Amino acid sequence: MVRFADLSYKAAVNALRRQVNDLHVAGRPDLFKPGFGPEIRDHADLYLKRQIGYAAVMETDGEIAGMVMVDYIEKPETPYGPARRFVHIAEICVDAKYRRQGVGKALMDFVKADAKEKGFPRIELDVWAFNDALSFYEAEGFTVFRRFLEYSVG
């Protein structure tokens, strides 16, 4: 069952976030620093205290099998575009031992239901090119609407 998380889940949420951080460090050591210091750990407080969105967890067999951290975004109209509201998935992780068992889908279903209930018309997320989760996101109905490219000058 997926449920909103509070500060009592901080250690479990951060254990999962560490898995994501390690994946990022391995995938792009030029962009991500190794380690998982207090500033990174404490960033979860913003979600666990529901100051900028929320954190939710899924428990399986008495363990936290996955988590998601979500932002509610409301952008005002600008000369370039209309005002827009959307949910942004800031971080999502399924513990390595629970992958491919429906945990990620359950977390996504929770985010989708919450977004619909609150009247948000869309959910956005971004994913690094080295992350093999892209196929999962596509299976969940996400489509590419923007790409970032880089060129190494050497």
Average pLDDT of span 52-72: 96
Domain ranges of the chain: 2-139
DSSP string, 46-103: HHHTTSSEEEEEEEETTEEEEEEEEEEEEE--BTTB--EEEEEEEEEEE-GGGTTTTH
pLDDT value at position 127? 94
**Which strands make up the sheet holding 123-125, listed edge to edge?**
2-4, 53-60, 63-75, 84-94, 123-125
pLDDT value at position 154? 85
Contact 38, 3 (CB under 8 A): no
Q: Which pLDDT band holds residue 113 (cuts at 50, 70, 90)? A: very high
pLDDT value at position 142? 96
Model pTM above 0.75: yes
Average pLDDT of span 86-99: 96
Q: Which pLDDT band holds residue 55 (cuts at 50, 70, 90)? A: very high
Query: How much of the chain, in percent, has pLDDT values that exceed 70?
Result: 100
Residue 122 has pLDDT above 90, yes or no: yes
Q: What is the pLDDT of residues 124-153, one digit of tens each?
A: 999 999 998 999 999 999 999 999 999 999
How high does pLDDT run on average in the chain?
A: 96
Identify the burial level of 85 via C-beta atoms within 10 angstroms of its C-beta, where 0-12 means exposed, 13-18 middle and 19 or more buried. Answer: middle
Tell me the CATH architecture of domain 2-139.
3-Layer(aba) Sandwich (3.40)
Q: What is the pLDDT of residues 8-19, one digit of tens each?
A: 999 999 999 999
